């Protein structure tokens, strides 16, 4: 195995956002006078794509211009924390001169809001609005590979959701399951199962020299 760097999923992998994100959607739908929506309905719709796509699905209609701002207002300033060990692991990767890359189904705007709230920074953020096809398609990983200047087969995607693992496999990357995340499914095949974020450091222990900075 010749892994040079990792790409991180965000929700459920870097951030414990299992409450914050569904609540923001529920508040947005209520503000827009939409149908009754529960947090579980939101989670079940994550696979559909960006926040705009999910919100339109929950509203059961196309959104009018600027209606998606209801979601971003609800998300802005929300308190969200990284999982234990995440900040320390990212710092350790930076000490190795490795860029921190995030690939999320959320929009780039939502990702930046949440990462900032959690006190985390990334060198490269690929949101669901950056690609034509959401996870489990390979698009995001292939874009990350191009931006990092690293072949996809030398990257690992760390994520808690089956969609993350399937996206890694579709790109020919190493699939690393984040077993601490809220959507972790032990039945979903993965190349590696990581029990804590710092397991990433061991995963990269035999990496080759530094990838290029995006």
Shared domain check, 89 and 178 = yes
Rounded Cα–Cα distance for residues 6 and 154 (Å): 9
Q: Rg of the chain over CA atoms, in angstroms?
A: 17
Shared domain check, 50 and 11 = no
Shared domain check, 63 and 87 = no
Handedness of CA 21, 22, 26, 32 (dihedral sign): positive
Shared domain check, 95 and 134 = yes
Shared domain check, 125 and 188 = yes
In a domain, 208, yes or no: no
Shared domain check, 127 and 53 = no
In a domain, 211, yes or no: no
In a domain, 180, yes or no: yes
pLDDT in tens for each of the 214 residues of the chain?
Answer: 689 999 999 999 999 999 999 999 999 999 999 999 999 999 999 999 999 999 999 999 999 999 999 999 999 988 999 999 999 999 999 999 999 999 999 999 999 999 999 999 999 999 999 999 999 999 999 999 999 999 999 999 999 999 999 999 999 999 999 999 999 999 999 999 999 999 999 999 854 444 334 4
In a domain, 149, yes or no: yes
- Model pTM score: 0.89
Q: Where are the alpha helices (DSSP H) in the chain?
A: 20-31, 39-44, 51-59, 69-75, 86-95, 108-117, 139-148, 162-171, 199-203
Q: Which of 57, 75, 93 is the last residue of a domain?
A: 75
CATH of the domain at 172: 3.40.50.1000
Shared domain check, 88 and 181 = yes
Shared domain check, 199 and 128 = yes
Shared domain check, 177 and 118 = yes
Rounded Cα–Cα distance for residues 164 and 153 (Å): 15
Shared domain check, 173 and 160 = yes
Shared domain check, 26 and 102 = no
Q: Which of 53, 75, 97 is the last residue of a domain?
A: 75
- Residues of the domain holding 50: 20-75
Residue 77 confidence (pLDDT): 81
Residue 208 confidence (pLDDT): 42
Q: Which of 75, 95, 119 is the last residue of a domain?
A: 75
Shared domain check, 195 and 95 = yes
Rounded Cα–Cα distance for residues 10 and 17 (Å): 9
Give the count of domains, the chain. Answer: 2
């Amino acid at each position: 195995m010749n892994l040079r760097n990792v790409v991180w999923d965000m929700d459920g992998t870097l951030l414990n956002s299992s409450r914050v994100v569904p609540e923001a959607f529920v508040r947005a739908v209520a503000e827009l006078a939409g149908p009754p929506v529960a947090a579980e309905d939101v989670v079940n719709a994550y696979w559909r794509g960006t926040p705009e796509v999910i919100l339109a699905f929950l509203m059961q209609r196309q959104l009018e211009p600027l209606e998606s701002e209801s979601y971003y207002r609800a998300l802005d300033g929300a308190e969200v924390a990284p999982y234990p060990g995440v900040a320390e692991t990212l710092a350790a990767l930076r000490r190795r001169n490795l860029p921190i890359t995030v690939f999320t189904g959320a929009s780039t705007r939502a990702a930046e809001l949440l990462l900032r709230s959690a006190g985390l920074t990334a060198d490269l953020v690929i949101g669901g609005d950056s690609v034509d096809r959401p996870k489990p398609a390979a698009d995001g990983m292939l874009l990350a590979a191009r931006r990092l200047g690293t072949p996809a087969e030398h990257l690992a995607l760390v994520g808690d959701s089956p969609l993350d693992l399937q996206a890694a496999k579709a790109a020919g990357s190493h699939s690393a399951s984040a077993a601490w995340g809220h959507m972790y499914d032990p039945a979903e095949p993965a190349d590696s199962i990581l029990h804590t974020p710092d397991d990433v450091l061991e995963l990269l222990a035999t990496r080759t020299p530094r990838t290029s900075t995006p």
